[in-house]
Amino acid sequence: MSQEKRLIEIKKLLKEYDQLSTRKLAKHFGVSFDTARRDVIHLTSTGQALRIHGGLMAINHGDVPDFLARTQIQSPIKAKMAKVAARFVHPGQLDFIGPSTTLRHLCTFITGKNLEIVTNSVDNALALMAAPLPAVSILGGTIQKKDRLIYSMNSLSELNKLHFDTAFIGTSKVREDGVYTSTQVDAQMISAAASRAKQIVLVAEQYKFTNANSSPFMSLPLDKVNVLITDVALPKEIADNFSPKTQIISVT
């Protein structure tokens, strides 16, 4: 059985048992302990499960964990994706960086660059305060505490007055027709920023194409994505949902 199929099966087992040991997984699949451990590391490092002593446990069966829960997952994969995203940041640009644990990593990689960033993420703004550059504009409004983003009708209006070189966006789920989020306000802000950008860079691990969480709000259709940065190579049936012009980059 391939690792991809094992990972799908492990997630099904987590729904039933909530916690699984590495040794139990090795026995269940008839693989070595090291192979089972690599499966555990993959799921936990990409935010699909939580690492516990001796194995892993489910984060939540049917919902999207809040931002603070996701930030507790130490993910080298997210850092790799953020480093690739940083290649699309250039001096002199005006860029939008949306709320996302991966994009929070991006903010740490672009400190010192001479450009301007607009964001509605509290954590992005804090990360960008580490150095005098880049310049940062944070959109005003009410703080949505669960997702640590800022929203207001005025901020939507402000976005419609700007023209971005690049909009960096995240997602909680990708369907065949578009990029989705778990809240309507997040989708509205992403949609507004993306509509004002020359280029849209989406960061999304492969599991976000197959998870079962409740993310009903579309932020933009897939054919609007110019660059997709993901963790592993996507199956052809998923990659084909994007425009032939979309640049798809996997970091592993």
The pLDDT value recorded for residue 75 is: 67
Q: Which fold has domain 3-59?
A: Arc Repressor Mutant, subunit A (1.10.10)
Dig out the tokens for 230 from the structure: 């993901």
Cα 53 from Cα 20, distance rounded (Å): 10
Give the residue ranges of the chain where pLDDT is below 70: 47, 60-75
Q: What residue ranges do the domains of the chain occupy? A: 3-59, 71-250
Q: What is the pLDDT of residues 155-185, one digit of tens each?
A: 999 999 999 999 999 999 999 999 999 999 9
- The pLDDT score that the predictor gives to residue 62 is 47
CATH 3.40.50.1360 corresponds to the domain 71-250: yes
Please give the pLDDT value at position 60: 59
pTM of the model: 0.78
- Say what the pLDDT of residue 212 is: 76
